[in-house]
Amino acid sequence: MRKKRVKKDNRDFFRALRLFGAVGFTLAGGMLGGFFLGRLIDNLLGTTPCFAAGGFVLGAIVGFIRLWHLAMEEVGR
């Protein structure tokens, strides 16, 4: 009996750890990816960092949408 409880507790712990890791990488990846892509466009066009700022905001929006999907997937379990 005890081993089953420990195994279930470990599974819950790693499930939560996976979810927290996904949250961090999703948000950070979206924002950094958008920023650097915008920065690349700024460098190619020779503009001020308006595309970098826009890419950062767009990346944050995409990251939050992805987080919403992750949360809904987790709630459905």
Domain boundaries, the chain: 23-77
C-alpha radius of gyration, the chain, whole number: 19
Distance CA 49, CA 37 (A): 11
- In degrees and rounded to multiples of 5, residue 60 shows phi and psi of -65, -40
Residue whose entry in the numeric block shows the structure tokens 């996976």: 18
* pTM for this prediction: 0.75
Distance CA 73, CA 71 (A): 5
pLDDT in tens, 23-50: 888 899 999 999 999 999 999 999 989 9
Name 56's Cβ contacts closer than 8 Å, sequence gap at least 6. 31, 34, 35, 38
Q: What percent of the chain has pLDDT over 70?
A: 88
